[in-house]
Amino acid sequence: MPVELTPETRAQCEAIISRYPDDWKEAAILPVLHAVQKEWGYVPMDGLKLVAEMLEMPPARAAGVMSFYPMFFKAPLGQHVIQVCSTLSCVLCGAKDLVEHLKEKLQVDVEGTSADGKWTLAKAECIAACEGAPAIRIDDKLYRDLSPDRLDELMAELD
């Protein structure tokens, strides 16, 4: 299904792109993806094609950039997004247990959203809290030294 941006978001994207050289428009991809995701809450495949078209770049390269950054999502999100750091320090300190706990608790796979639409589970690369491993982010907030029990408490507070 083709998608279209609101005139406001399209104008915002064009303003962003205008700040970059004409022969290097793709350098604007991150702020443009943020603008698109702000409108829809995620960046669907057709939205990604639209971004690539605006930036005059191959859709596959746009997809490669988007998939590198954990803050962009390909599917609609739950009310809250839990990102579990899956880089070395956190893995060594129990991040895998947190992921397994969440998969079981929410009955989802990574990048899945719970049936009630409340929680999306995602993995992230280092979120700059290695001293407090394992670390997670729920929405825009960082939490350190997590255990499955502490995670349950946090989720109950947000539920």
Binding site for ligand FES (CB under 6 A): 85, 87-90, 126-130, 133, 135
Strand partners, 121: 82
- Shortest separation between residue 96's beta carbon and ligand FES, angstroms: 12
- Shortest separation between residue 42's beta carbon and ligand FES, angstroms: 24
- Shortest separation between residue 13's beta carbon and ligand FES, angstroms: 32
> Judged by CB, which is closer to ligand FES: 9, or 87?
87
- Shortest separation between residue 91's beta carbon and ligand FES, angstroms: 8
> Judged by CB, which is closer to ligand FES: 29, or 129?
129
Let me know: does 39 contact 6? Beta carbons within 8 Å. yes
> Judged by CB, which is closer to ligand FES: 63, or 91?
91
- List of long-range contacts for 29-35, beta carbons under 8 Å, 24+ apart: 29/55, 29/57, 29/62, 29/65, 29/66, 30/65, 30/69, 33/65, 33/66, 33/69, 33/72, 35/9
> Judged by CB, which is closer to ligand FES: 37, or 86?
86
**99: which residues sit within 8 A by CB, 6+ positions away?**
84, 86, 110, 121, 123
- Shortest separation between residue 94's beta carbon and ligand FES, angstroms: 11
Let me know: does 76 contact 118? Beta carbons within 8 Å. no
> Judged by CB, which is closer to ligand FES: 142, or 155?
142
Dist CA 45 CA 67 (whole Å): 12
Dist CA 114 CA 12 (whole Å): 33
